């Protein structure tokens, strides 16, 4: 009972730096490796790691349309998001600025959740998402006028893919075993990359040791590790819970970029992290005055999984909600 109670907080603490590390490693990888090669090796390495996990855990296979839903999620959450993000990084968009733009996805996910997942949001979650978005903006506001021009469209498209993939994963894949979900998505993404490769004219291999190290990190830590954590958190909590955690990623990326990429530590990064933390606590109902108006989670839609969700659940068409445990 005690270990179960602490599982989600521990996973949440691990999730934020693992997700943020993808921007740092992605910036390093695209400095010496073509974008298609970064994607290819990321998916290959992640698939090998997850197949080893399958051999040990022996999870169940998807059924019926679950295969199609997993493939669609892969195209959105894996191929779409990272093709656009890495293209932006390769064209000169800073890692921190990419993280800032991707940090708008939580607000979009939170606002679309009531429409697409048959749930309703209280005052606390909406206010928390808005506060978190403010923190995201503060982190790197000065970089918005850096003259990057049309290259900013890449992280914007990546943000839209992340938001769409997060909602699709929660709506259609919540009952699929997490390991199975990641394996099918990585395999689908690898096939999609190989199909597109003849039209891209890219080199197959990284051109520097740092490129190999970065793609290995992306495959093992950021693909296999971070996405397993994401899917577990989506299953045990709501999309708003995961979105609140994603609000912390831009400031975390900016802080990690100081020792790794040599970027200076700014007041905006520290201030933005503080604001994002406030938004996360407000959105998750940790503020006493808003505790009674917490998010109504989307577990009702994912009922076949049988997994508990950490927020109150309300039927899509009236009826009293039920509470399934603390956040």
Q: Is the pLDDT of residue 67 over 60?
A: yes
| pLDDT-based confidence at residue 217 (cuts at 50, 70, 90) | very high
pLDDT at 148: 58
Q: In whole angstroms, what separates CA 232 from the centre of its chain? A: 12
> H-helix or E-strand containing 115?
helix 105-116
Q: b/e map of 165-176 (b: 16 or more CB within 10 Å)? A: bbbbbbbbbbbb
Query: Which residue, chain included where needed, has tokens 């309703």?
Result: 120
Domain range summary for the chain, segments of one domain joined by +: 2-295
Burial class of residue 2, CB neighbours in 10 A (0-12, 13-18, 19+) = exposed
Please, are residues 101 and 156 in contact by the beta-carbon 8 Å criterion?
Answer: yes
Please, are residues 244 and 130 in contact by the beta-carbon 8 Å criterion?
Answer: no
Q: In whole angstroms, what separates CA 201 from the centre of its chain? A: 29
pTM: 0.77
How far is residue 158's CA from residue 85's CA, in Å, rounded to a whole number? Answer: 6
pLDDT in tens, 131-171: 877 877 787 666 665 555 678 889 999 999 999 998 898 88
pLDDT at 325: 33
Any idea of the CA torsion for 312, 317, 320, 326, to the nearest 10 degrees? Answer: -10
Higher pLDDT among residues 104 and 49, named by residue: 49
| pLDDT-based confidence at residue 245 (cuts at 50, 70, 90) | confident
Query: Which residue, chain included where needed, has tokens 């909602």?
Result: 167
How far is residue 221's CA from residue 71's CA, in Å, rounded to a whole number? Answer: 22
How far is residue 170's CA from residue 151's CA, in Å, rounded to a whole number? Answer: 30
Average pLDDT rounded to a whole number, residues 80-93: 92
Q: Is the pLDDT of residue 243 over 80?
A: no
Q: Is the pLDDT of residue 237 over 60?
A: yes
């Amino acid at each position: 009972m005690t270990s179960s109670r602490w599982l989600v907080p521990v996973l949440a603490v691990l999730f934020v730096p693992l997700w943020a590390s993808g921007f740092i490693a992605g910036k390093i990888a695209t400095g010496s490796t073509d974008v298609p090669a970064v994607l290819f090796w990321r998916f290959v390495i992640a698939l090998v790691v997850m197949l080893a996990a399958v051999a040990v855990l022996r999870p169940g296979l998807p059924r019926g349309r679950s295969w199609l839903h997993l493939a669609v999620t892969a195209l959105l959450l894996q191929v779409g998001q990272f093709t656009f993000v890495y293209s932006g990084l390769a064209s000169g968009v800073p890692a921190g600025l990419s993280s800032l733009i991707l940090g708008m996805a939580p607000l979009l996910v939170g606002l679309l959740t009531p429409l697409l997942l048959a749930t309703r949001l209280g005052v606390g979650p909406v206010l928390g998402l808005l506060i978190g978005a403010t923190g995201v903006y503060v982190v790197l506001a000065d970089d918005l006028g850096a003259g990057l021009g049309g290259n900013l469209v890449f992280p914007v498209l990546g943000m839209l893919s992340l938001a769409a993939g997060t909602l699709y994963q929660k709506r259609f894949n919540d009952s699929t075993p997490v390991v199975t979900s990641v394996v099918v998505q990585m395999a689908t993404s690898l096939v999609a990359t190989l199909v597109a490769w003849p039209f891209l004219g890219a080199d197959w291999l990284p051109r520097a040791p740092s490129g190999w190290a970065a793609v290995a990190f992306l495959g093992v830590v950021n693909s296999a590790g971070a996405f397993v954590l994401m899917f577990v958190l989506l299953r045990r909590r709501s999309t708003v819970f995961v979105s609140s955690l994603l609000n912390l990623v831009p400031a975390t990326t900016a802080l990690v970029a100081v020792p790794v990429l040599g970027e200076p530590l700014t007041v905006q990064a520290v201030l933005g992290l503080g604001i994002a933390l406030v938004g996360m606590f407000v959105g998750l109902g940790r503020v006493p005055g808003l505790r009674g108006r917490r998010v109504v989670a989307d577990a009702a839609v994912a009922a076949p999984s049988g997994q508990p969700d950490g927020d109150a659940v309300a039927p899509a068409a009236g009826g009293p909600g039920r509470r399934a445990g603390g956040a």
